[in-house]
Structure 1
Amino acid sequence: MALLPILEFPDPRLRTVAAEVDPAELATPEFQRLIDAMFETMYAAPGIGLAASQVDVHKRFMVIDVSEDRSRPLVFVNPRIVASEGGQVYQEGCLSVPGIFADVTRADTITVEFLDRHGQPQVLTCDGLLAVCIQHEMDHLIGKLFVDYLSPLKREMVRKKLQKAKRAAAA
């Protein structure tokens, strides 16, 4: 299976709001192959989460695996956070903003409703890294990036740093 290209900030396609996935679409071989390709892309990057928006598929789903041995792959289709509490600061990075890390405040505990990769309704309550990752990837589905939590000055510095890195890589 081929790796999918990951869009990078400031690509305007990262600002696209994802459309709901029709549950009937989950049963198609094409959709299942796309999920597998997203996992393969995420693991190769390497990352712990990847929203469909990051690979230029603007549908509401994401793949996540925060386990150290890559043994707990999770698929969230049409996710909705239905409860959250507390707050925590995590240093986040993003496959669409390579090499940049920043502190972001997120809810400490969340409850999310979603469909799994087979269209079965699920409810998950979690905290820690998994909760942070879910919130981060869900932001992608509404066209928001973790750099949006930074000041405009810091965000511009990130943009310039990424442009400089691209120019250096092309030289």
Structure 2
Amino acid sequence: MAVRKILQYGDKRLNSICDKVFKVDGKILNLVDDMMDTLYEGNGIGLAAPQIGVLKRVILIDLGNEEEEPIIVINPKITAKSGNEKDYEGCLSYLGHEGEVFRPTNVTVEGMNIKGKPVTYKAEGLLARAFCHEIDHLDGILYMSKAEEMYELAEEEEE
């Protein structure tokens, strides 16, 4: 387990379409462990494998609910979506910025878990937005390309 460097906007790997995972093996499990360490170090709510330079279809989402396990989906695919809502998004690969992005308010996501078993998630609100954002990463799409407007965040002064 290790904290990996998060690729930043401008790195061409972030615009790559990721490869499907055919077998959940030790390499994939190590990748997931590294993604968890990296996500928590970066204080984000989601991370996709290409953000740490691994072009595989693996995402991790943790909205910070103590009673819920982090969501890990391999080969995630949105199979249904409804609604449309504009809200602010940021990204660990574009620190110091956020943008207003339209996303579905409800999504159904299918894929497999770390045991290689099929999983389905019905998500709404922030979780639906996080799924859309992370799955976009797997297709080389960054939220900035979908943003209606972008903002640079002011740095908070330390006292």
Q: With structure 2 as the length reference, what TM-score do the two structures score?
A: 0.89
Deviation of the 1:150 alpha carbon: 3.3
d(CA) in 1 for partners of 2:122, 2:18: 23
Deviation of the 1:11 alpha carbon: 1.0
- Aligned pair count reads 154
> Is the 8 Å Cα contact of residues 20 and 75 (structure 2) preserved in structure 1?
yes
Amino acid at match of 1:102: G
- Deviating 4+ runs (over 6 angstroms): none
Deviation of the 1:60 alpha carbon: 0.8
Q: Residue 9 of structure 1 aligns with which residue?
A: 9
Amino acid at match of 1:5: K
d(CA) in 2 for partners of 1:36, 1:71: 17
Alignment of 1:50-129 (within 5 A): 50-69=47-66, 71-129=68-126
More helix by share: 1
Amino acid at match of 1:2: A
Amino acid at match of 1:143: G
Stretches of structure 1 that go unaligned for 5 or more consecutive residues are: 162-171
> Is the 8 Å Cα contact of residues 2 and 33 (structure 2) preserved in structure 1?
no
Amino acid at match of 1:66: L
Larger radius of gyration: 1
Aligned residue for 1:2, secondary structure, equals coil
Identity across aligned pairs (percent)? Answer: 36
Deviation of the 1:70 alpha carbon: 8.1
d(CA) in 2 for partners of 1:69, 1:100: 27
d(CA) in 1 for partners of 2:26, 2:61: 20
Q: Determine which of 22, 41, 66 is the counterpart of 1:44.
A: 41
Q: Residue 141 of structure 1 aligns with which residue?
A: 138
d(CA) in 2 for partners of 1:112, 1:144: 18
The CA RMSD measured in Å over matched residues stands at 2.0
Q: With structure 1 as the length reference, what TM-score do the two structures score?
A: 0.83
